[in-house]
Structure 1
Amino acid sequence: MSQHASGELLYPLDARPGYAEATFAAIQHVLASFVGIITPTLIIGGVLGLAEHIPYLISMALIVSGVGTFIQARRPFGVGAGMICVQGTSFAFLSSVLAAGFIAKARGGGPDEILSLIFGVCFLGAFVEIVLSQFLHKLKRIITPLVTGIVITIIGISLIKVGMTDLAGGFKAPDFGSPANLALGGFVLVLIIALNFSSNAWLRLSSIVIGLLAGSAIAFFMGKISFDHLANLPLVSIPVPFRYGFSFDWGAFAPIALIYLITAIESTGDLTANSVICRQPIQGDVYIRRIRGGVLGDGINSALAAVFNTFPNTTFSQNNGVIQLTGVASRHVGYYISAILVLLGLFPVIGGVLQQIPKPVLGGATLVMFGTVAAAGVKILANEELDRRKLLIMAVAFGLGLGVMNAELLAQMPTLVQNIFGSPITTGGLAAILLSLLLPAGDSCSEAKQRPAADATAGDTAN
């Protein structure tokens, strides 16, 4: 029996694995996170019409993820958790980033103006998480598990439409909804589901990668993929700070700032899980410093992402599973992961190849990812004791959040109001926060205590 199978780590947090062991472990981390790092860029670029910029944006996403992972592992000046915390582009910001892009597009802006606004608001928004990292103990009084679960569920539900649109061929595609597109996307979806039920842990871990590769192979023979444009790409991608400029809009900023608030709490959960797997304390001064440093690292890495032309970063939870499977918790492996990601990002041909993944293939995979986001929110809510007060908060938050997404309620309102409250995440999230603060918790508790004993007995019998 291997050491990690019996509950021990092969390489604890400060151990130094050999070159071969560290490289092999790092490759597994990269495979687990690679699709998550590049997919938001592919979606944003496709929806906002940024085709010629996608290879460069993917290169920057990989480079910044590598740098961010190094910061988390090395923990310079107290920034970072000092663990293997692979950084990658956050799906949580997807809806808000797209909303910011549409604001710029509605003003007649081209790709440069769209990206200028997105990276401007993402850069300033990162300071929300940077500041809050030092007040996490107070933040939890406002952003409760109930609020977090509601917001994450709304994020997942709002993104499912994007996944389904891609599965059918993509927005305004001439063959949208064709049998070929639906069959291709459906194949990828079914394959990923089947692999997730495999008894082999590595097949489950690689299910998204395998699904994309298999779907792309079929799409190639269907004539849906062409690599003719690769010859026009530069040999190396050079990071250029704020290459597209810098601009700001309050309507675009508000939803993104709220997501930074939520991800600060979400990252705390991921870092705590990582600490447990790495046999590190989850209480006391050491734990508090590690969590604060990790969330601070998330915020600084997101600011770096905006400076170097990519989207907000966060700690990827799926890599905790890799640590658990391999028994390799050494933070020094984070340096190897960082090097691999930076090397991949330096060559734009990689982004050019990935850009060719057909929409139905991407949609089949992202549908699972986005559904998983929504399911994660539901799981958080399921762990709550849902009394009358909490059910009311959920009902109003979901009603308002999903309502503004599916109805033109704000068409007669000023543009600023439309931009801020037209986001289901902002409307639903703010509703959940305000109701949690305003609705007294004592009434529902008293009501629960006053329920007839017969009801309680009936409940026990049912169980």
Structure 2
Amino acid sequence: MSDFSNADSELVYALEDKPPFYQSLVGAITHLLAIFVPMVTPALIVGTALQLSTDTTAYLVSMAMIASGIGTWLQVNRYGPIGSGLLSIQSVNFSFVTVMIALGSAMKRDGFHEELILSSLMAVSFVGAFLVVGSSFILPSLRRVISPTVSGVVVLMIGLSLIKVGIIDFGGGFAAKSSGTFGNYENIGLGLLVLLVVIGFNCCRSPLLRMGGIAVGLTVGYVAALFLGMVDFSSLRNLPLITIPVPFKYGFSFEFQHFLVVGTIYLLSVLEAVGDITATAMVSNRPIKGEEFQARLKGGVMADGLVSVIASALGSLPLTTFAQNNGVIQMTGVASRHVGRLIAVILVLLGFFPVIGRFFTTIPAPVLGGAMTLMFSMIAIAGIRIIISNGLRRRETLIVATSLGLGLGVSYDPDVFRILPASLFVLVENPICAGGLTAIILNLLIPLRQKETSATPVATEEPE
């Protein structure tokens, strides 16, 4: 079948449903709580690592929110061929954080000043984003590459990789590791409190309570953290009242050697975007094969690239479709793209007021970890569902098992392939890339049996 049965759906609001405003607002806030800290954190990390000024870092954070709002609006509204038409939330791509720090640090050691560093980083990000736009046009020709098995492996690896982030936050985060408080009673207690509240509300019959489960869990955890004295408001000091976007604020200085590195990460991010969009279609009860799916996939990847073009021009790190929101859709039962419009508007408005965005960074790590650990696990389960939808015959089992083995193996010890040339090592040191590339290669090398070829459609074939 090319679609899902509505009878089996647990969605409260399907893709085209229009919830009442107050329920849309609850759904939008729930999604925002899931992405806000991950959205602004990359800019904060890069700003700290490169020792950027407070004003510059605040500007990067504000532009991340504004660009995310613009990107989300493009994705959910689907203008012509642009956008997936799903509840696809755009946010900063974590894959670029280490690359930006490495390139920026090298320029800093060579004596480059702050504006020139940002000018170069944003320029190569701007040009590299067109690689993603271009890749959207060749997706239909990749029938043997982007199968449900490959997409499922990528989504599964995304979920499993994010679980590590969630469980570290659950124990207190990296700051707690540095201070020796990681895994203490306060951190574990807060994480468990949020986890139990989220689970409890998601077991309720009331759609409204179910929709607000994550938001309530985070709020309860935040209040408890306030009483425990675990909330730090120091990051709210010395911020400008309002931030106005300035295209190419830091200039445009293109370095080809930097472009090669950034361009490689962009091309790898296409695979992640395909997996995320597939997962969103799956949890939204939309087809993951056939013409509709291919149109959504092409439009979603194209929007991914265009959004990063806009983000880089405004002064934000590159963006991508966020996997976290697939977990929110599963847990809340809200897949309406009309909620996405509200999310987009709120993000743009908040981007003009940096103090609001920075406020969300005061949420303690264990509070986030309590909710995110469960949500990230939901993403992994979505990947398993995609894999199973294509069947688990001997061929698919070999592909999935090998991809998981190498992908998870890299996550346990990234130096296992250190002997490879630097250009290749960059591709395999990331668990998502290692698992995804393995799945692609095996999917191409291991032949399909004749009866499987004729009986089993892949994600890009026409519907029966």
- SS across alignment from 2:241: coil
Aligned to 2:187: 181
Residue 372 (1) aligns with residue 378 (2): yes
In 1: Cα distance, 2:127 partner to 2:147 partner: 24
The one-letter amino acid of 1:392's match is L
In the alignment, which residue of structure 1 is the partner of 2:309? 303
> Is 1:100 the counterpart of 2:105 in the alignment?
no
Structure 2 counterpart of 1:170, one-letter code: G
CA distance in 1 between counterparts of 2:293 and 2:438 reads 32
Describe how 1:121-270 pairs up with structure 2 within 5 A.
123-171=126-174, 172-174=177-179, 175-241=181-247, 248=258, 250-251=260-261, 253-264=263-274, 266-267=276-277, 270=280
* Partner SS for 1:50: helix
Distance 2:247 2:270 in 1: 22
Q: Please say if residues 129 and 264 of structure 1, whose CA atoms lie closer than 8 Å, have aligned partners that are also in contact.
A: no
> 2:425 aligned with 1:418, yes or no?
yes
Looking at structure 2, the residues matched to 347 and 136 of structure 1 have their Cα atoms a distance apart, in angstroms, of 39
2:182 aligned counterpart, secondary structure: coil
Question: Percent of counterpart pairs with the same letter?
Answer: 34
Which range moved further: 99-108 or 155-164? 99-108
Q: Equivalent residue of 2:242, what SS?
A: coil
Q: Residues 290 and 108 (structure 1 numbering): CA distance in 2 closer, same or farther, change over 3 Å?
A: closer
Over 3 Å counting, the alpha-carbon distance change for 1:12 and 1:424 in structure 2 is: closer
Change (3 A) 1:70 1:399: closer
Deviations 1:429-453 (A, max 9, x none): 111101110111128969xxxxxxx
Q: Quickly say closer, same or farther: Cα 1:357–1:80, change in 2 above 3 A.
A: same
Name the CA distance, whole Å, in 1 between partners of 2:117 and 2:394: 44
Q: What TM-score results when the alignment is normalised by the length of structure 1? A: 0.75
Letter in 2 for 1:208: I
210-219 or 369-378: bigger deviation: 369-378
Distance 1:288 1:424 in 2: 26
Q: In structure 2, which of residues 22, 29, 32 is the aligned counterpart of residue 31 of structure 1?
A: 29
Distance 1:376 1:11 in 2: 17
Tell me how large the CA RMSD over aligned residues is: 4.2
Corresponding residue number in structure 1 for 2:458: none
Q: Is the 8 A contact 2:166 2:369 kept in 1?
A: yes
Residue 428 (structure 1) aligns with: 435
Q: CA deviation at 1:362?
A: 1.8
- Name the residue aligned to 2:456: none
Paired letter, 1:236: I
Q: Distance in 2 between matches of 1:340 and 1:379?
A: 32
* 396-405 or 119-128, which deviates more: 119-128
Where does 1:263-412 land on structure 2 (aligned, <5 Å)? 263-264=273-274, 266-267=276-277, 270=280, 292-308=298-314, 309-314=316-321, 317=326, 337-407=343-413, 408-412=415-419
Distance verdict in 2 for CA 1:318–1:23, change over 3 Å = farther
Q: Encode CA deviations 1:67-93: one digit per residue, 9 max, x unaligned.
A: 223334655565345x57453327xx5
Residue 238 to residue 168, structure 1, CA distance change in 2 (3 Å): same
The aligned residue for residue 448 of structure 2 is 441
Deviation (angstroms), 1:402 = 1.8
- Helix, strand or coil at the partner of 1:355: helix
Query: What per-residue deviation string (whole Å, max 9, x for no partner) do you get for residues 38-94 of structure 1?
Result: 23235535766739576544432332232223334655565345x57453327xx53
Q: Secondary structure at the match of 1:313?
A: strand
2: CA distance between counterparts of 1:251 and 1:50? 22
Deviation at 1:134, TM superposition (A): 3.0
The separation in 2 between residues aligned to 1:188 and 1:334, in whole angstroms, is 25
The alpha-carbon distance between structure 1 residues 377 and 352, as it changes in their structure 2 partners (threshold 3 A), is same
Indicate if the aligned counterparts of 1:192 and 1:211 stay in contact, CA closer than 8 A: yes
What secondary structure does 2:30 align onto? Answer: helix
TM-score in terms of structure 2 length:
0.75
The amino acid that maps onto 1:258 is: L
Gaps of 5+ in 1: 447-463
Q: How does 1:103-114 map to 2 (within 5 A)?
A: 103-104=102-103, 107=106
C-alpha distance in 1, partners of 2:396/2:134?
A: 29
1:88 aligns with 2:82: no
Q: Which has the larger radius of gyration?
A: 1
Aligned equivalents of 2:278, 2:13: Cα separation in 1:
25
2:434 and 2:15 mapped to 1: Cα distance? 44
Output the CA distance in 2 between the equivalents of 1:49 and 1:181. Answer: 27
- For the Cα contact (< 8 Å) 1:65–1:86, is it kept in 2? no
Which sections of structure 2, spanning at least 5 residues, go unmatched?
1-5, 454-464
Give me the whole-angstrom Cα distance separating, in 2, the residues matched to 1:221 and 1:54.
30
Contact between 1:305 and 1:313, CA under 8 Å: does it hold in 2? no
What is the CA distance between 1:200 and its match in structure 2? 2.0
